[in-house]
Amino acid sequence: MPAPTPNPPGPINTETRRARATIEDVASAADVSVATVSRALRGLPNVAESTRVKVQRVAVALNYRADPAASRLATGRSRSIAVAVPLLNGWYFSHVVAGIEAVCAEAGYDTIVIGLGSERSCVELLDGSDALHRRADGLIVVDVALPADDLRSLDDRGLALVAVGPVLDGVPSIGIDDVAVGRLATSHLIDLGHRRIGLVRGEVANPFGFVVPQLRQRGFEHAHRSHGLRPDPTLYVDGSFTVHGAYEAAERLLERDDPPTAIFALSDEMAFGVVHAARDRGVRIPDDLSVIGVDDHDVAAVLGLSTVHQDVDQHGAGAARTMIAILGGQEISPGRHDDPIRLVVRSSTAAPRR
Amino acid sequence: MPAPTPNPPGPINTETRRARATIEDVASAADVSVATVSRALRGLPNVAESTRVKVQRVAVALNYRADPAASRLATGRSRSIAVAVPLLNGWYFSHVVAGIEAVCAEAGYDTIVIGLGSERSCVELLDGSDALHRRADGLIVVDVALPADDLRSLDDRGLALVAVGPVLDGVPSIGIDDVAVGRLATSHLIDLGHRRIGLVRGEVANPFGFVVPQLRQRGFEHAHRSHGLRPDPTLYVDGSFTVHGAYEAAERLLERDDPPTAIFALSDEMAFGVVHAARDRGVRIPDDLSVIGVDDHDVAAVLGLSTVHQDVDQHGAGAARTMIAILGGQEISPGRHDDPIRLVVRSSTAAPRR
DNA sequence: GTGAAAGCGCTAACAC
DNA sequence: GTGTTAGCGCTTTCAC
């Protein structure tokens, strides 16, 4: 158990308060009761239009804003939503977060981010740790495969759940068909004539399975089989979902006596690493090696990287909208929205030379 | 004024509460008063060690955790810090945010992110809008140049302030010497023999000046002057700090009858766009054109891009540590920490051919 | 060392 | 339509 770090003592409260008007200030200034102020300001019925106007005017004059903590305490709702992502600085994740934040801000919700980089953070997330405990009304998990009972425990705590990425049982989710992604990229390579295809997968240090890699890999294998081919597992390497990790992984592949003629990297960032490694060893792309990634990262076009496009900001925005609808009391079925994907062929893929 | 969106009605409260233990539950189970529970759990003095142990045990058994809203209401501190950034999905910003979040989580603080993409969001930030008002104990602004009176108003609201990026008057800040960055990159080009150097600047739709571009530009101009040269303002173009924006900006430069022999892009992402544009028009790098950026983005190495390295994650982490120290009651002088930078020469810069 | 009680600022019954 | 009042769950004097 982490050391209890109490709030430092001291009457921060009183210093701060000076400037802030409370609901009572507004009430007395407007010559009504606090209840009326509350109703008027929140647009509730049973307030005479004239009173509402008067109260609003006073509130503006006093620059009054309800204290969210007090409000949360009274209503049980915090008007903020949490986003849990494996790493905050990945291209994919930062775009999802950006999409979420934009929608949340628009709707008056705060966005609190939780990086799941360390094991500790993952465990805490579910333990009902500080980050979630009564601080957020809902949780958006991005590419996190929560086990069923953790799902339930979160639910028991009254947290609304929405997922971005793979399907999560009983949770509304938005993402792409990752198996199809794997199939699409791989078929492209096979159609070009490639028969020995390397796969740069990625593990993330994350106790919850990060299932995207598996799904895309499954698609990779499907594609082989449906063309009557058998994938070669000795051509599978781990790129950790980073440029650098993939660089090293690709080195291992290219060092072989029988290197693959094409490499499928499960993300564009990893594909960048592959391209780099190839270049450093004088392996020409696409002449000696075809490379394809996934994401359609802004830099993919610069490198001429073939890839599978997905509209990442939209995933985040869609998830946030769903969350807000749920929090707004709408019945949302825990369904799946598969966003379309499409193959983008650039100059990094071509028929094998030999 | 935005439409008042009240919390939807409904007894969410009671449903939720079922599972959660309150301080009273702990008190009665441990057979002490709530005051004692509060003291014991927060490590305050004047609690018999035996009592403390007992209370802790009960708290764990009941999976008790203080409700942050109630705690906030009573103490005035929310144990969360807000981060305001111009765009959440830029490489630089996402790394800063990641650095901040990691440190905050470690210290038990929530990280709430605020994107300043729209004008509205900026205005609201300062208006004491919902996002900040009593929700966060401190605000970390990243590359945001707040005017002096906004600074004061934030301060009046009792918000602690820390800045990442350029110096902000009266606020502790961490960043790099952006003028030096401009000088370093430009001198490298000049030393190589370049005399006509294009500058890809960047504006971000942000009412607060985003001063980084100006500073780096100043360094660019300094470097010229100290070599007895005069920069050519017709060679300045706007790349919006995006790959795509820089692509178009570079096109304009390369289309000229007298194109520059080198281009300094104020960020690596923009440099990528320049490289792309050059490639698309058959301009060879570095033979026909030298390109240099700033950041040392992971992809810079892949493209062989020369650049000015900075340690971005560290900026975020450092800022967060400073913030937490301030919030912890330490006296922190509003000083400046300049993180070191260094020139990284790769293959995108060389002497001009003619 | 511990407990009783008075808030913190707001919302939601309930009365009028 | 509006006001009164009892909480929400915690912290913090102030007695003991």
Q: Percentage of chain B with pLDDT > 90?
A: 74
CB of B198 within 8 A of CB of B188? no
State phi, psi for A62 to the nearest 5 degrees: -85, 0
CA distance A353 to B267: 38
CB neighbour burial string for A110-130, b if at least 16 within 10 angstroms, e if fewer = bbbbbbbbeeebbebbbebbb
Q: Average pLDDT of each block of 10 consecutive residues along chain A (354 residues)?
A: 42 43 95 96 94 96 93 94 91 96 93 82 63 86 85 83 92 96 98 98 73 94 97 96 95 96 97 97 97 97 97 96 94 92 98 86
**Å from the A74 CA to the D5 C1':** 14
SS3 category, B141: strand
For position B123, what pLDDT does the model report?
Answer: 66
pLDDT score for A29: 95
Residue A152: the pLDDT is 82
Task: Single out the residue of B231, B217, B270, B220 nearest to residue B248, CA to CA.
Answer: B270
Alpha-carbon distance of B350 to B331, in angstroms, equals 49
A281 interfacial to chain B (CB closer than 8 Å): no
* Position with higher pLDDT, B282 vs B210: B282
Is residue B15 less than 8 Å (CB to CB) from chain A? yes
Residues B310-339: pLDDT tens digits?
A: 999 899 999 999 999 999 988 888 899 999
Are the Cβ atoms of B19 and A156 closer than 8 angstroms? yes
Tell me if chain A has a CB within 8 Å of the CB of B282: no
Q: Which residues of A touch B67 (CB under 8 A)?
A: 73, 133-134
**What residues form DSSP beta bridges with B160?**
B138
| pLDDT higher than 90, residue B172 | yes
Verify whether the Cβ–Cβ distance A113 to B117 is below 8 Å. no
Test the A interface: residue of B46, B53, B75, B275 with most A CBs within 10 Å: B75
| Statement: residue B229 has pLDDT above 80 | yes
Please classify residue B34 by burial: count the beta carbons closer than 10 Å to its beta carbon, then call 0-12 exposed, 13-18 middle and 19+ buried.
Answer: middle
Nearest neighbour of A63 by CB, restricted to B16, B117, B128: B128
Q: State the pLDDT at residue A318.
A: 97
Residue B73 confidence (pLDDT): 95
Question: How far apart (Å, rounded) are the C-alpha atoms in residues B58 and A62?
Answer: 45
Q: What pLDDT is attached to residue B10?
A: 40
Torsion sign, CA atoms B33, B34, B39, B42: positive
CA of B43 to C1' of C3 (A): 18
| Nearest DNA or RNA nucleotide to A73 (CA to C1') | D8
Compare B266 and B10 and report the one with higher pLDDT: B266
Burial label, B157 (beta-carbon count in 10 A; 0-12, 13-18, 19+) = middle
pLDDT at residue A149, as a whole number: 81
Q: pTM surpassing 0.85?
A: yes
In this prediction, residue B354 carries a pLDDT of 66
Separation CA A325–CA A161 (nearest Å): 12
Structure tokens given for B109: 């603080």
| Chain B, window 109-168: residues with a beta carbon less than 8 angstroms from a chain A beta carbon | 110-115, 117, 121, 128-131, 133-135, 156-158
pLDDT for B119 equals 62
Tell whether the model's pLDDT for residue B5 goes beyond 50: no
Between chains, do B111 and A112 touch, taking CB under 8 Å as contact? yes
- Single out the residue of B52, B31, B27 nearest to residue B42, CA to CA: B52
Residue A80 Cβ < 7 Å to strand D: no
What's the one-letter identity of residue B3? A
**What is the count of residue pairs from A and B with beta carbons less than 8 Å apart?**
233
Residue A65's SS3 state is: coil
B84 pLDDT more than 70? yes
Q: What is the pLDDT of residues B186-209, one digit of tens each?
A: 999 999 999 999 999 987 666 666
Could you report the per-residue pLDDT of B90-146, keeping only the tens digit for each? Answer: 899 999 999 999 999 999 899 999 998 766 666 666 665 556 778 899 999 999 888
Q: Which residues of chain B (3-22) touch nucleic strand D at CB < 7 A?
A: 13, 17, 20, 22
C-beta separation of A250 from A278 below 8 A: yes
Q: State the pLDDT confidence band at B167, using cuts at 50, 70 and 90.
A: very high
Say what the pLDDT of residue A87 is.
Answer: 86
